[in-house]
């Protein structure tokens, strides 16, 4: 999966969590939490959704790696390289 596809995947999952989420002004190097008003339950949803869709097991200590779109891409790129 390319970095762009990974970012789209994350945005798609967030859209499922909150259909009103507005991505227009989203900056990919800034924390998603502050920009989209996500809480820790929302991040848990992202983790579960990644496991469901791509059998990815993300250990709890790695959750902070999902903070921004860029960091998601950095972290997930090697894990999703064959997808």
Partner 1 sequence: MPFSLDKAADSYDVIVIGSGLGGLTTAKRLSYCGHKVLLLEFHHQLGGLATWFKRKGHIFDISLHGFPYGMVKTCKKYWTREITDSIVQLRNIVFDNPQFSLQTTFDRLDFTALLNKKFKIPQTVIDRFFATVAGMNFYDDQTMTTRELFEQFFPGRTDVHRLLMEPITYANGSTLDDPAITYGIVFSNFMNKGVFTFEGGTDKLIRMMTEDLEKNGVMICTNAKVERILVEKGKVRGVEVNGRVITAPAVVSNSGITNTIYNLAGRDVFSSDFLEKADAIRVNNSSCQVYIGLKKDSSIEDKGDLLFTSTAPVFDSSELLDMHTHSKTFSVYYPKTRPGHDRFAIVASMNSRFGDWSSLSPTAYETEKKALIERTLVDLNRYFPGVNEKIDWLEAATPKTFNRYTLHTHGTSFGTKFEGLAVSRSIFKEVPGLFHVGSVGIIMSGWLGAINYGVIVSNDVDSYIRSV
**C-beta of 29 vs 60, nearer to partner 1:** 60
CB of 34 to partner 1, least distance (A): 14
Q: Which two tokens stand for residue 6?
A: 């990974």
Distance of CA 8 to the CA centre of its chain: 9
What's the angle, vertex CA 56, arms to CA 51 and CA 57, rounded to 5? Answer: 90
Closer to partner 1 by Cβ: residue 11 or 28: 11
Q: What is the 3-state secondary structure (H, E, C) of 30-50?
A: CCHHHHHCCCHHHHHHHHHHH
Q: How far is the CB of 24 from partner 1 (least distance, A)?
A: 22
Q: Which residues would be at the binding site for partner 1 (CB under 8 A)?
A: 17, 41, 44-45, 47-48, 51-52, 55, 57
Nearer to partner 1, 18 or 27 (CB): 18
Nearest-approach distance from CB 44 to partner 1, in angstroms: 6
């Amino acid at each position: 999966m390319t970095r762009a596809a990974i970012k789209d995947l994350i945005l798609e999952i967030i859209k499922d969590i909150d259909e009103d989420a507005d991505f227009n002004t989203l900056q990919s190097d800034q924390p998603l939490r502050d920009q989209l008003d996500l809480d820790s339950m929302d991040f848990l949803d992202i983790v579960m959704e990644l496991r469901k869709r791509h059998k990815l097991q993300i250990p709890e200590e790695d959750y902070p790696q999902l903070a921004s779109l860029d960091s998601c891409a950095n972290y997930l790129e090697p894990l999703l390289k064959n997808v």
